[in-house]
Amino acid sequence: MTVAVAAASLGAVGIAVAAPRTPAPPPATPNSSCTIRVPEDPLSARGLATPYQLAATDPRQGACHESVDAQGAFAEATILDPATGKLSVYHPLVVDAGAAPAASPVVPALPRGAVVGLWFGFNGDTLTLGGSQAALKAGRCVNGLGGSLFGQVAFCGAQAFFDAANNAVQAGKLRIPPLGRAKDGRPCPSVRDFSLVDQDQSDNVTTTYLVTRDGRTAQATAANSRTLRKPATLANGSDNRLLDAFVDPALGCTPFTAPDVTDGGRPTTSLALNELQAAAGQRAPVALVPPGDPMTLVAGKPSPAKANLYRAGVDQPPLDRRSASTRAYCRSLRTAGLDRLTSDRRLLRAAPSPDDGVGLLKFLTDRLQGSLQQLGCTHPAASRHPAAAAEPDPADQAAATDAVRTLETLG
């Protein structure tokens, strides 16, 4: 298990009480590489309630501010009570380094022997987990393979959480709800459905935060919404949020939820809940992180070791070298993915999307089109990572190009 080393400039940062301030306007091109400082004992109640501090990984590239949409980092914990099999969710807070939160974080009451998994999402390009070596080791934190980071994603205690959850399922203590039936008559999609995934699937979280006019952040709770003065909401650009907040409602589906101990037990979603449900209910073809996923490449080339680290963090089996290929992933994207988007176009066209400027159908078709190109499905030269395509085949590329043309007409 590999842990990213903390940025040296963060070593002495503490949680200071700062006076309210008016944030400076972000630069035209915000710094897209930021670090969050992991608190000591991050899987404990105290660690969960200690805000993560956001700062630039390299201050020479500009500052990082949680209130800047392109720099927002988000934390999400899913908690298992091994005695009962009950699940709950907690949303740790991220603040600017040296800043006080807009409201004190809720301290969760964890069950005895609780198994906690933490996942992180980022709206920029590369998120580094910083903090003391003791904190990172206690959290069993994974940021990538050696110096090759995943990018937007990191996690702590994830594999132990999924091992415990799957054991609870086998013991009959934990029941994963079925995906259900969508308005189109098909099973509801999961985060492993080819109509939902993109070139880097199973990434980012459903956590949201509140942000005040002076740039301070708070957990998104009903109490904080009442007491803070007209806060805005910060959200993570997330496959999981796309499913839970947009695709499921459009198709008449209901996401898997658990009590949010941050907010009085109201039902909430999480990455871990989505992956557990996908593992239990997604029918073939099942989308699993492919060798050419940009977040799993090392120096632009596929790395089975890094892909398997990523897969372990989202409850997926290790790569099967006999069957797992980016080429096969491309085929399923252009066949199963395109087929469902085509059949559901009336349900999706007018539905809201994460982009206020376009409907959900166009958002999904543009995303699928971009994924076919980024993975090199249409032509290796079109890929941001030429090695990602691996095993290029002219017939497959021609079919993918035809799929792109179809997507352009659908959107």
pLDDT digits (tens, 9 = 90+) for 313-369: 999 999 998 778 999 999 999 999 999 999 999 999 989 999 988 999 999 999 999
Structure tokens, 123: 């709206």
Question: Which segments of 241-314 are extended strands (E)?
Answer: 258-260, 266-268, 297-298, 301-302
Q: Render pLDDT for 358-400 as a digit per residue (tens, 0 to 9).
A: 999 999 999 999 999 899 887 644 334 444 444 445 555 555 4
Cα(258)–Cα(369) distance, rounded to whole angstroms?
A: 34
What confidence tier does 406 reach under pLDDT thresholds 50, 70, 90? Answer: low
Answer yes or no: are the C-beta atoms of 306 and 297 closer than 8 Å: yes
Look-up of token digits 């910060």: 234
Residue 247, classed as helix, strand or coil, is helix
Answer yes or no: are the C-beta atoms of 343 and 195 closer than 8 Å: no
Q: What pTM does this model have?
A: 0.88
Q: Render pLDDT for 58-73 as a digit per residue (tens, 0 to 9).
A: 999 999 999 999 999 9
CA distances in angstroms from 85 to 23, 179, 282, listed in the order given = 44, 19, 22
